Every structure is written in structure tokens, then in C-alpha cells.
Amino acid sequence: MIGLPERAELDQAAAAQEVGAAVSGTSADQPSNPYATLAANAFASPAGDDSGLLARILSDPRMQHHAGGLLSCLQCGICTSGCPAARFGDFSPREISRRALLGDPTLLTDDSVWLCCYCYTCQSRCPRGNSVAVINQIIRGMQVESGYGLKHVALFTAWTEEFYATGLGGWPRQLLDAIADAWGDRWWNLVEHLDEMRDELGVGSLYPSEKAMGELRAIMDETGSRERLQAAEAQPRA
């Protein structure tokens, strides 16, 4: 049975169509030599970066090994073909790369960059050494700085406080009431006897040791991570 094409396939087809249109010289504005169009497109300075976004991305230390890859992105779509967020959501790493290269300021208010789960598949497969994973990190940081992205990080405040107190951000009992509903008594038996079960299995406590907790708290205190999240939660959200 022939199924509907995956988003990645559609994305690759769109990329091929864009290149194909340039090669065939279908536009009335294009010169008769199609390779002139390709060359002009390939070597021209990225247009429309009034926002300074491209410069900001390229100068970020995390792009140290990927800046050349971004500047030479082929729009091949290989990143999108392996991206789990593209498969299950309205998101395309190829599009992110293109818009970053153009300095598209709408990226700074685009919620789709938060769909990226930082699996780094795009980076590992990119033939040019680009990293959309890193580009997403930079754009997310800029969204948080501007206030627009605070809605995406503020929900981690409670998780962080729990992590600071116990060494775990939470576990399913706290996160998913639906599990308790579905499992009923079996679930509550597990909750009640978890420590005994872990002892019997010889896997130790669910929580980190006091020594490890001291080290964790020292790192969080020194880096100010809790304060930053609390400040993020307190700010008005765009």
C-alpha cells in the first residue's frame, strides 16, 4: 500500500524543487545561463539580515565548528529527513537553517524551535558540518532574553526546586496522575514498597547520596541556575 509521504520527504522535495527552478531558469528575471543563477545564489551575501541575527549566531562560541557549515548549507534536507521533531511536528531543521542564514527575525518569535529535543541527529548527518541543534539553542536563548521564550522555561522552576531539595526533579507519581489511575492498586503498591523493592534488587536508593547532593547544590548555587529560573518565572511573559 502506498502511504502518504512523510514530512521529511515533502521537505526534501521542496528543496529539490527550489534548486530545480533555479537550474531551469523558469523565472523571467533569471539569466539564460542557469549556472549563473546558481552561482549568484551560492556566493551572494545572505540578504535581508537587518536583525543582526546571522551575525549573532555565527559569533556564538557554540558555532565555532559549525559556522562554515551554516554558511555553506546546501538545503539538501538531510537534517529534516532524520529529525524526530520534523516527523511528528510542524518543524523543519532545513527551514531553520535557511531562515538563520537569511537572518529572518521571525525566528525570534517562532515557538517551533522549542520542539527540538537536542538529539543532534541533524548535526551528525549534515554533509556541510552545520548544526541546527546548536542554532536552535542560540535562538531559544535569544527568545528567553527578549522575554518571548520565558513561557517555555518557567515551567522548569518547580522541577529545579525539587531537584535542589532531593536530587530528583520528580518521578512519575508526581508527574502523571493518569498512570496511577490506569494502574490502580498495583501502582500504589509500587509507590508504597519502592524502597524495599530497590533494596531487594540491590540497586540502592532512588535518590543521590548526601555527598552527591552537596556537590549538586554547590554547582547550582555557584552558577545561579535557580535564581535565573525564579527570575524568569517572575517576569511578565511576552
Q: Which residues bind ligand SF4 (CB under 6 A)?
A: 73-79, 83-85, 93-94, 97, 116-122, 126-128, 130, 132-133, 136
Task: Give the single-character DSSP code of 167.
Answer: S
Smallest separation, CB 40 to ligand SF4 (Å): 19
Q: Tell me the C-alpha distance between 23 and 60, whole Å.
A: 34
Smallest separation, CB 60 to ligand SF4 (Å): 16
Smallest separation, CB 203 to ligand SF4 (Å): 31
Question: Among residues 130, 134, 137, 4, which one has the least CA distance to residue 76?
Answer: 130
Question: Among residues 99, 192, 105, which one has the least CA distance to residue 142?
Answer: 105
Q: Which is nearer to ligand SF4, 77 or 149 (CB)?
A: 77
Whether residue 70 contacts residue 58, with contact meaning beta carbons closer than 8 Å, is answered with yes
Q: Which is nearer to ligand SF4, 37 or 81 (CB)?
A: 81
Q: Tell me the C-alpha distance between 78 and 8, whole Å.
A: 8
Smallest separation, CB 174 to ligand SF4 (Å): 26
Q: Which is nearer to ligand SF4, 70 or 229 (CB)?
A: 70
Output the 3-class SS for 191-236. Answer: HHHHHHHHHHHCCCCCCCCHHHHHHHHHHHHHHCHHHHHHHHHHCC
Q: Which is nearer to ligand SF4, 26 or 124 (CB)?
A: 124
Smallest separation, CB 49 to ligand SF4 (Å): 17
Q: Which is nearer to ligand SF4, 96 or 144 (CB)?
A: 96
Cell numbers linked to 95: 527551514
Q: Tell me the C-alpha distance between 178 and 64, whole Å.
A: 44
Smallest separation, CB 178 to ligand SF4 (Å): 25
Whether residue 66 contacts residue 131, with contact meaning beta carbons closer than 8 Å, is answered with yes
Q: Which is nearer to ligand SF4, 62 or 226 (CB)?
A: 62
Cell numbers linked to 208: 543521590
